[in-house]
């Protein structure tokens, strides 16, 4: 937000310009630092999702900072080794990257395939559920838009988008069991997401110098279920299970005709 002239030009930040320009006037108007505003908006935003986490919110970051160097943010076309190495530099283990990727249950793409903006990564983009962790393990069959783009791989459902990085981290021997574990344990997914987000939120800061203002973050509505489902039209045979230690759980499929996924509303 402070260095958007520089940082929004980095390829990995493509699309971030819009929300930065939306939010900056609020931070300036209320005399809140950019770092605090971004953390606050993220915590409030995700609390609106059914079944979502209630993130800690600490205030007190200063606006004294420098532009980040380019090429530090992972790209969806990066190999898992590279993603884990970059995230490792920031103090996150491969399993913590999986925990962070629960965010992709409430996410959509605009720029990887610009012909289909708003195409979500799971069938329930307004629900903070574990559908993302099931659907990324389904065998890929179609490209939802104009064919294969850099960082995109085959998706299992019409209207759903699959990032190459999500596909590979779901199947990587280092992370496949953490990935699979969330399919039958919504609480664990949310608790681990809250924990890893607390870590992400204070990177580069001493948390002891910040003030805990978490009580201003709304309490999200409860999750409907602890266990995810197969989308309608899919069976367990469509799952590419990758965790060697634990068999893939027996989960049921939604009834009805094959699931297709609608785009999220334009932002």
Query: Is 186 annotated as ligand-binding?
Result: no
Closer residue to ligand HEM, CB minimum distance, 227 or 242: 242
- Confirm or reject binding of residue 166 to Ca ion (CB under 5 A): no
Q: Which stretch binds ligand HEM (CB under 6 A): 30-38, 96-104, 202-210, 232-240?
A: 96-104
Q: Which stretch binds ligand HEM (CB under 6 A): 68-76, 134-142, 216-224, 254-262?
A: 68-76
Sign of CA dihedral 126, 127, 129, 130: negative
Residues 232 and 258 sit within 8 Å (Cβ to Cβ)? yes
What is the spatial distance between Cα 139 and Cα 156, in angstroms, rounded to a whole number?
6
Query: Is 136 annotated as ligand-binding?
Result: no
- Confirm or reject binding of residue 122 to Ca ion (CB under 5 A): yes
Reduced to 3 states, what is the DSSP secondary structure of residue 162?
Answer: strand
- Confirm or reject binding of residue 175 to ligand HEM (CB under 6 A): no
Query: Is 246 annotated as ligand-binding?
Result: no
- Would you give the binding string for ligand HEM spanning residues 4-33, x where CB under 6 A is met? -----------x------------------
Query: Is 209 annotated as ligand-binding?
Result: no
Q: Smallest distance, Å, CB 34 to Ca ion?
A: 28
- Confirm or reject binding of residue 160 to Ca ion (CB under 5 A): no
Among 1, 97, 153, 183, binds ligand HEM (CB under 6 A): 97
Phi, psi of 120 (to 5 degrees): -75, 165
- Confirm or reject binding of residue 149 to Ca ion (CB under 5 A): no
Contacts of 248 (CB under 8 A, 6+ apart): 137, 180, 236, 239, 241
Among 51, 76, 94, 220, binds ligand HEM (CB under 6 A): 76
What is the spatial distance between Cα 255 and Cα 235, in angstroms, rounded to a whole number?
11
Residues 159 and 122 sit within 8 Å (Cβ to Cβ)? no
Closer residue to ligand HEM, CB minimum distance, 54 or 251: 54
Residues 113 and 145 sit within 8 Å (Cβ to Cβ)? yes
Beta partners for residue 152, in sequence order: 163
Which structure tokens are listed for 230? 């197969």
Nearest residue to ligand HEM by CB is 107
Go through the chain and tell me how many residues it has.
267
Which structure tokens are listed for 140? 């890929």
Which structure tokens are listed for 1? 């937000």
Which amino acids are annotated as binding site for heme b, given as ranges? Answer: 104
Which parts of this chain interact with Ca ion (CB under 5 A)? 105, 122, 124, 127, 129, 131
């Amino acid at each position: 937000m402070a260095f958007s002239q520089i940082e929004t030009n980095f390829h990995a930040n493509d699309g971030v310009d819009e929300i930065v320009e939306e939010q900056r006037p609020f931070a300036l108007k209320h005399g809140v630092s950019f770092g605090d505003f971004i953390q606050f908006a993220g915590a409030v935003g995700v609390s609106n999702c059914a079944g979502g986490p209630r993130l800690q919110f600490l205030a007190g970051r200063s606006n004294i900072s420098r532009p980040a160097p380019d090429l530090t943010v992972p790209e969806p076309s990066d190999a898992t080794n590279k993603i884990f190495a970059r995230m490792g530099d920031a103090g996150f283990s491969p399993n913590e990257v999986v925990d962070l990727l629960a965010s992709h249950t409430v996410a959509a793409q605009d720029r990887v395939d610009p012909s289909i903006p708003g195409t979500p990564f799971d069938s329930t983009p307004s629900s903070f559920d574990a559908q993302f962790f099931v659907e990324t393990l389904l065998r890929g069959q179609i490209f939802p838009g104009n064919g294969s783009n850099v960082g995109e791989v085959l998706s299992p459902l019409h209207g759903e988008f699959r990032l190459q990085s999500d596909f590979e981290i779901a199947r990587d021997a280092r992370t496949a069991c953490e990935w699979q574990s969330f399919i039958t344990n919504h609480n664990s997914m949310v608790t681990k997401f809250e924990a890893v987000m607390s870590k992400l939120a204070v990177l580069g800061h001493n948390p002891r110098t910040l003030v805990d203002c978490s009580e201003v973050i709304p309490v999200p509505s409860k999750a409907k279920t602890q266990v995810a489902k197969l989308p309608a039209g899919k069976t367990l045979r469509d799952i590419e299970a990758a965790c060697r230690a634990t068999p893939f759980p027996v989960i049921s499929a939604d009834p009805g005709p094959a699931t297709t996924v609608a785009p999220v509303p334009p932002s």
